[in-house]
Amino acid sequence: MTTFTSIIEDIKDLSSFSEKTNFLTVILNFFQDKKVKIKLEDKKELSAFAFEEINKLIALIPTLQTYKEKDEIFGYEDNLLGIVMFCHTSPSEISETNLNNIKTLMALVDKERFVENAIDNIFKNNQNDKATVNQLLASVIPLKDEFQKGQIYQGLLHYQGNISNLPLDSKILFADYISSELKRYLDAPLDDVIVNNLEFACDVSKYFINDTIISLLNDILKLEKNNVNYYAISTLLNAGQTIPTNIIAALANDIVYADMTYAILKQHGLQSLFPVELSTPEYLAKSDLVHWLTYPTELGKQPDQIEYLGKVKKKEEYYIFRYISDSDNLGEDRKNQWLIGWSNDEGGTFSNFDLYSDFEQKTIEKTLKNIKKRLL
């Protein structure tokens, strides 16, 4: 048995490729510590595991029905190749069979990721002429898989800093495509994938704004989806548009989006439009932490309960909370237990899922001091 035997077995037992990817990310980060020396037998075992998994992916990918399933595998594939590169300093160390399997897998993934690859080509290689953009859109429009169609928005957001470099006729093509998709979404059943695409589309629209898109965004506000409406009002505010007061009120009363809404209004000098009774630092801090906890890498959902404990100062101010969740992302010893988290205006919002009981003292003041001393 080597250092990684038990970890490898744990990875093999996992059914979720996102969890497998996370495990490999931890291993790769461990390798990046130059002080760590990996034994030859460890490298051999890791390499054998990586090539075994590569063979499995070659057989699995063509059988998957949805692009979302395939997309989850792509991150795992990338990390497996990272393991191979770490374990072998040169391709000459790898057998011809394994080299061919690497090439087969990379070609398979490359073929599946044609939308992402086309966007990379437009922005990375500066192939941004009208004909190239039109070719991308012509390949996306017929797709039936909504998750795959949505990759175009994520790609544009990834390269948002380069969108201004697009020729005008290419920008018009993207604007027309986004307009047509927004119209289609307004008439489509709003399942989770469509709503997710709407979020991205409303966000990226700010880089292709025109009167048609402004009109469509105002129609989208009427769907009353706060997760979509936040991005819609962000784009509309950028375009100098007025936001209906009922939309702002709905977002302000949504604990997930309240703080972000206040921030975007403040950015435009319009914080006076935010309900005064909801603009307290404690409420906005709670909203900030709750939004952070909803990320898939954290709880992946809102906490079931959350309570404000108090404020402490350590160079910066921290608003301390305790919360309860039954999230599957938590270990069994953390589920349905009071956990500690905090909000900080300087980007220090965080929770390590520490048990409140491990820090609780006889008074709340002493508890806060203990949290400040040991966690901040």
Burial class of residue 1, CB neighbours in 10 A (0-12, 13-18, 19+)? exposed
Determine the pLDDT at residue 38: 81
Instruction: Please give the torsion angle defined by the CA atoms of residues 236, 238, 244 and 249, in that order, rounded to the nearest 10 degrees.
Output: 110
Count how many domains the chain has.
3
Final residue in a domain of this structure, among 112, 131, 149: 112
Q: Answer yes or no: are the C-beta atoms of 355 and 330 closer than 8 Å.
A: no
- DSSP H stretches of helix in the chain: 5-13, 17-31, 40-60, 67-87, 96-112, 114-124, 130-140, 146-149, 151-158, 168-187, 192-204, 211-221, 226-238, 245-252, 258-267, 281-293, 364-375
Q: Answer yes or no: are the C-beta atoms of 257 and 251 closer than 8 Å.
A: yes
Residue 22 to residue 349: CA distance in whole angstroms: 22
Q: What is the pLDDT of residues 91-112, one digit of tens each?
A: 999 999 999 999 999 999 999 9
Mean pLDDT to the nearest integer, 258-287: 97
Determine the pLDDT at residue 3: 75
Mean of all residue pLDDT scores within the chain: 95
pLDDT band with cut points at 50, 70 and 90 for residue 116: very high
First to last CA, the chain: 39
Q: Answer yes or no: are the C-beta atoms of 47 and 87 closer than 8 Å.
A: yes
Beta-carbon contacts of residue 171 (< 8 Å; ≥ 6 apart): 163, 208
Pairwise pLDDT comparison (230 vs 18), residue with the higher score = 230
Facing residues of 319 across strands? 311, 343
Same domain assignment for residues 63 and 166:
no
pLDDT band with cut points at 50, 70 and 90 for residue 32: confident
Mean pLDDT to the nearest integer, 276-298: 96
| Angle between helix 192-204 and 151-158 (nearest 10) | 30
- Domain-embedded: residue 255: no
Same domain assignment for residues 128 and 104:
no
Q: What is the pLDDT of residues 163-197, one digit of tens each?
A: 999 999 999 999 999 999 999 999 999 999 999 99
Determine the pLDDT at residue 1: 58
Same domain assignment for residues 237 and 307:
no
- pTM recorded for the entire structure: 0.90
Mean pLDDT to the nearest integer, 264-284: 97
Q: Answer yes or no: are the C-beta atoms of 76 and 20 closer than 8 Å.
A: yes
Q: What are phi and psi of 304, to 5 degrees?
A: -70, -35
Same domain assignment for residues 75 and 48:
yes
Same domain assignment for residues 149 and 55:
no
Q: Give the per-residue SS3 of 58-82.
A: HHHHHHCCCHHHHHHHHHHHHHHHH
- Domain-embedded: residue 137: yes
Mean pLDDT to the nearest integer, 4-29: 89
Same domain assignment for residues 166 and 132:
yes
Percent of the chain whose pLDDT exceeds 70: 98
Same domain assignment for residues 165 and 56:
no
pLDDT at 297 over 90: no
Determine the pLDDT at residue 2: 67
pLDDT band with cut points at 50, 70 and 90 for residue 202: very high
Residue 329: give the domain boundaries.
283-375
- Domain-embedded: residue 128: yes
Final residue in a domain of this structure, among 52, 78, 112: 112
Same domain assignment for residues 162 and 88:
no
126: its two tokens: 């500066």
Whole-angstrom CA distances from 224 to 153, 238, 261 are: 21, 20, 15
Determine the pLDDT at residue 11: 93
Residue 43 to residue 50: CA distance in whole angstroms: 10
Pairwise pLDDT comparison (32 vs 353), residue with the higher score = 353
Determine the pLDDT at residue 34: 59
Final residue in a domain of this structure, among 80, 112, 144: 112
- Domain-embedded: residue 176: yes
Least confident of 26-35, 42-51, 251-260: 26-35
Same domain assignment for residues 133 and 237:
yes
Facing residues of 339 across strands? 323, 355
Same domain assignment for residues 98 and 147:
no
- Domain-embedded: residue 226: yes
Mean pLDDT to the nearest integer, 296-312: 96
Residue 338 to residue 357: CA distance in whole angstroms: 7
Same domain assignment for residues 194 and 304:
no
- Domain-embedded: residue 90: yes
Residue 37 to residue 305: CA distance in whole angstroms: 45
Mean pLDDT to the nearest integer, 261-267: 97
- Domain-embedded: residue 277: no
- Domain-embedded: residue 263: no
Same domain assignment for residues 292 and 326:
yes
Mean pLDDT to the nearest integer, 59-65: 96
pLDDT at 35 over 70: no
